[in-house]
Amino acid sequence: MARKTYILDTNVLIHDPDSLFCFQENEVIIPLEALEELDKLKKRYDHIGHSARQTIRHLGTIIEKRGRRDAVVTKEGGTLKLDSSLLQGADRPDLPLRLGNGAGQITDNRIIALAWLYKQKHNGNTVFVSKDINARVKAMALGIKAEDYKTDKVDVSVIYSGHVAFTMPSHLIQRLHEGGEVSADSLDADGTELVENQCVLLTSAEGASVLGINKGGSIRKLSHSAAAFWGVKARNKEQQFAIELLTDNTIQAVTLVGQAGTGKTLLALAVGLQKTVEEGLYGRIIITKPVVPVGKQDIGFLPGDKEDKMLPWVQSIFDNFAPLSRNNQKMTIEYLLTADLLDIESIAHIRGRNLAKSWIIVDESQNLSPHEIKTVLSRVAEGSKIVLTGDINQIDSPYLDAGSNGLSYLVSRFRGRSLYGHITLAKTIRSPLAQLAAELL
């Protein structure tokens, strides 16, 4: 296979600072314009600033290793090179119209122009890599091959749902109802792989049924799915599966995926309150979600203390406290905050914390990149549990989609691990109007 040259856009480096090393034996070009953009972003306090600083450190190491050489050879046999061919203001009449000289030229166009020059040099074996679809379209209009960054991309058509249905003889279903277990090998799986902590709906030809979970190669009946948590009970089988995973103390990370109204956040809060306030298994509940900054401002510039800054972003989570507080009027949000049983935190500030003995809820985690998801999970200490909720088809970030967001990536990578469980919730538990809107609009 012919060696290719990949020109990386700045947004790829922000999305994954390790992307520099993900192109095997090929040549990777980092435009100096991208380094200039990273320099402007490095002082931000959010994940963008963190990624910019990490990428700059990688590039600094590359420059140190390079010495007088033109490029650095990677362990996979590829090369990394910083290219300053198109420093702003350089006169290049050979470039296509509107990608030429440009004291006033935008950075995106200068990076695309560099890709165009490499295309002429390498006779077509050049690929422009960007998370920005508009930049890719501009590059393709100039005859440059352009693609999204694919290293952490997931095929959502086959993404793990966390549950499956099988047929089983009635006598085995009866055994499960009586508290026994059934070997997963006895299932008529028809080639379907059953993994650890996967939930199952088992039915017989006679109409008997049971909901179960695979633990260590054995199927057992769900233990807590019929219980009520702060007045909240499961209203369908997916919610029963979710409660089983949330209440299982051997599972440290749970992902709940589904559209608005499926009960993801409500279940995470209800079980979290039970485990924290009633059982004392955790010292506090930590609630966080990705914050979309206003303009270039991060929440650190907004007025008020931490709770005041985060309140507009977590109000949708707090809406779920209303039905829970009705069952225990003393347990208001204000009381939980005052008693240090509830902590509201920004994703940016979680990076520097050690989250011990905490029930952690990350709402709308589909708006996190795989790199951010890794950062959050790396802060979860022993004795804590993290619940990540979201809808992979409802993404606000311009550089993420259903296949490249951190939630999809986590579901794909953690599938079958003993410390992890996942459920996709399909049925909306809201008003008939909300259900109709979700289905038709």
Q: pLDDT tens digits, residue range 365-420?
A: 999 999 999 999 999 999 999 999 999 999 988 899 999 999 999 999 999 999 99
pLDDT value, residue 197 = 98
pLDDT value, residue 103 = 45
pLDDT value, residue 146 = 97
Residue with tokens 């990608």: 99
Kindly tell me if the per-residue pLDDT of 67 is higher than 80. no
pLDDT value, residue 20 = 93
> If pLDDT is split at 50, 70 and 90, which confidence band does 136 have?
very high
pLDDT value, residue 295 = 39
pLDDT value, residue 380 = 95
Average pLDDT over every residue of 210-231? 92
Average pLDDT over every residue of 8-13? 96
Query: Pairing relation of β-strands 126-129 and 79-83?
Result: unpaired
pLDDT value, residue 301 = 47
Average pLDDT over every residue of 192-217? 94
pLDDT value, residue 99 = 60
By C-alpha distance, which of 83, 64, 65 is closest to 74? 65
Kindly tell me if the per-residue pLDDT of 170 is higher than 90. yes
Across all residues in the chain, what is the average pLDDT?
A: 87
In degrees, rounded to 5, the angle at the alpha carbon of residue 417 between the alpha carbons of residues 415 and 423 is: 45
Give 192 or 110, the one with higher predicted confidence: 110
Average pLDDT over every residue of 2-14? 94
Kindly tell me if the per-residue pLDDT of 252 is higher than 90. yes
> If pLDDT is split at 50, 70 and 90, which confidence band does 216 have?
very high
pLDDT value, residue 307 = 61
The pTM for the full model equals 0.87
Q: Give the separation between CA 221 and CA 188, rounded to whole angstroms.
A: 18
pLDDT value, residue 294 = 38
Q: Give the separation between CA 257 and CA 25, rounded to whole angstroms.
A: 37
Q: Give the separation between CA 325 and CA 319, rounded to whole angstroms.
A: 11
What digits encode the pLDDT tens for the residues 17-65? 999 999 999 999 999 999 999 999 999 988 899 999 999 999 888 878 7
pLDDT value, residue 222 = 96
The region, left, alpha or beta by phi > 0 then psi within -120 to 50, assigned to residue 394 is beta
Query: Pairing relation of β-strands 145-147 and 126-129?
Result: parallel
> If pLDDT is split at 50, 70 and 90, which confidence band does 327 have?
low
pLDDT value, residue 173 = 94
Average pLDDT over every residue of 289-311? 57
169 with 202: CB under 8 angstroms?
Answer: no
pLDDT value, residue 161 = 96
Give 230 or 390, the one with higher predicted confidence: 390
pLDDT value, residue 2 = 81
Kindly tell me if the per-residue pLDDT of 196 is higher than 60. yes
Average pLDDT over every residue of 290-318? 60
Average pLDDT over every residue of 240-251? 97
CA-based Rg of the chain, rounded to a whole angstrom? 25
What digits encode the pLDDT tens for the residues 328-350? 666 778 888 889 999 988 887 78
Kindly tell me if the per-residue pLDDT of 172 is higher than 90. yes
Q: Which domains does the chain have, with CATH numbers?
A: 5-147 (3.40.50.1010), 234-440 (3.40.50.300)
pLDDT value, residue 87 = 58
Give 9 or 317, the one with higher predicted confidence: 9
